[in-house]
Amino acid sequence: MNALLIFAGAAGLFLGHAGAWGQIPALVLLAPFCIFLLAVGAATPGRAFCRSWLCGTLGYSAALYWIAVPVTEVGGLPMIAAVPLVILLGAYLGLFSGLAGLAAWSLQRFFAGRKAGLLWAGLICGPAFAGLEVLCGFLFTGFPWLVPAAAFVPLPDWIQAAALVGAYGLGGIYCAGACLCAAAGLEAGRRRLAPLLLGLLLIVAPPVYGHLRLVDWKEDPGPAVNIGLVQGNVDQNQKWEPVFQSRTIAHYLQLSQNLIDEAAARGERPVAVFWPETAMPFYFAYEPDKADILRGFALRNAVDLGFGTVGARRDEKGRLQLYNRFQVVGPDGGDVGYYDKQHLVPFGEYVPLNLDLAFVSAMLQGVPFAPGRVHGPLRLPLDDPTADAPRAENPGGTPPLLTSGARFPKRELALGVLICYEAIFPEYAQARVTRGAQVLLNISNDAWFGRTSSPLQHLHLAALRAVEQGRPLVRVTNTGYSAVIDAAGRIGKPRSGLFTDDAFVVAVHPRAEPTLYHRLHGYVEDFLLAAAALALFLHPVTRRFRRPGSYATAL
């Protein structure tokens, strides 16, 4: 029976989240359901932990199989060496499942023999499990990838409550419902009715609320902003080669020019065009010949041009620091501003503990980054500063230049930038909106992971940030998926495919009203962490005694 529960819970993690073979979102609830049964059926806390850890390890390892792709195709390790690395990451994440099992065991022991004891144990397990997800989000730089709420992104009704309690809190509600349903199976007769009904209520209430919210959904009355997204689909292993640099620039310029011309013919001309993370493989600030090509394009087309590139500056000791940067050139050809990525990917953008490993050096491709400093939103002009401005003569077809009489823009778009997997952390989107962001932008390069489920899982996590903050999110990547996500977390069309050249215009409605979750962000996470700490604290208190009514022999 225990083996069946372990494999069922692992299968729920694997099949509930986006996968290369499809997805059944509701199956993700099998994980907390099975962990609760595994834990309360254990005779000792050690067994509760080990069973739950094994369940999580198998599920996470299977769902994160795509980690092996960059390790083998970029790092150069053979598959026989890459598989243990995937299992090692799965085993680490499984530790949080083990702690969840330990929390369930402790709660069951504490409430054993009390009236409605299993009901209380199952109910508190929900926020306790969610608190452990919060812990996973910041411990050792954090990796909150397969959070329960992300599984429900394909069902927009099911994620709307994230605007109230965040993705972690929403996951806690669903986990509480699953644990209560598991508790009902351990009760006898009419005693199982209360936990069963309460569990089903907790599972059904969020989508009912979400349906009502979407029925009454209204975009802000202000005009939509057209933004062009360009997915270049450039080979990850070639674009840094000098011979391919000019070709990469020309490729993006051609896709963008076609996009602008076609959109203008339809009356959908974009005010800005965005390219993915590290789309431009050169040092923008130190290679003016290449930078001037991009400035000229923005000037000729009177658009804001935003693109991923490599930033550089010297620190206090004169050492050159490199940054994963999003740079914006304005419609007058000048610099609007930039954002440097703050949360770097371990082993992908820097080496933790200065480990000297050949495959890590290969994945860094010779460009270790430094974390950026705190920046407010980038403010893009929405008015064309060239519309009513006198222009200088431009003989010979050179780009027209603005004279000193050019008008300054009157309207702005406050853009909160999230580079790559910064979109999986709620606190970064929270910080952008706190500083005034009206629209979130996620640029990424998921080419590292090939045709796996990683890009779709990443897209789903980004959608949660849109719901939490009540902001539309624009996403553009090198190889897919590029899309616009509205403030309700609905992924719009068109949406790019994987490994295709694509360029299209999306319409976004900037928003300024904060969500309840945005106002309560810190309190929600603190409550969940406190619930987890309380559940785990009960373990040393209860291990010395065993109340009548324990379920240690029930399974």
Pairing relation of β-strands 502-508 and 439-444?
A: unpaired
Sheet holding 272-274, edge to edge: 335-340, 320-329, 304-314, 272-274, 225-231, 502-508
User: Own/partner pairs for 61-65, CB < 8 Å, 24+ apart?
Assistant: 61/86, 61/87, 61/89, 61/90, 61/91, 62/10, 62/13, 62/14, 62/90, 63/13, 63/14, 63/17, 63/19, 63/146, 63/453, 63/457, 64/89, 64/90, 64/93, 64/145, 64/146, 65/452
What residue ranges in 220-282 does DSSP mark as E strands? 225-231, 272-274
What φ, ψ does residue 313 adopt, rounded to 5°?
-160, 160
Structure tokens at 376: 């407010």
Inter-residue contact 250 to 234 (CB < 8 Å): no
Nearest to 133 by CA among 482, 524, 544: 524
Specify whether the CB–CB gap between 201 and 555 falls below 8 A: no
Question: Which residue of the set 73, 187, 277, 349 is catalytic?
Answer: 277
Is the distance from CB of 119 to CB of 430 less than 8 angstroms? no
Q: How many helices (H) and strands (E) does the chain have?
A: 14, 11
Sheet order of strands, 378-381 included: 378-381, 412-419, 439-444, 473-477, 483-485
Our answer to whether residue 420 is catalytic in this structure is yes
Name the token pair of 373. Answer: 């400093």
Distances in Å between the Cα of 462 and the Cα atoms of 43, 329, 459 are: 41, 25, 5
Q: What amino acid is encoded at 343 in this protein? A: H
For residue 346, what is the DSSP state? Answer: B
* Cβ-based neighbours of 324, under 8 Å, separated by 6 or more: 277, 278, 308, 310, 311, 340, 341, 344, 349, 369, 372, 419, 420
Do you find a cis peptide bond into 510, omega within 30 degrees of 0?
Answer: no
Q: Is 277 a catalytic residue?
A: yes
Q: Which one is catalytic: 420, 422, 468, 525? A: 420
Pair type for strands 272-274 and 439-444: unpaired
Residue of 55, 125, 133, 341 with catalytic role:
341
513 part of the active site: no
Annotated active-site positions, please? 277, 341, 420
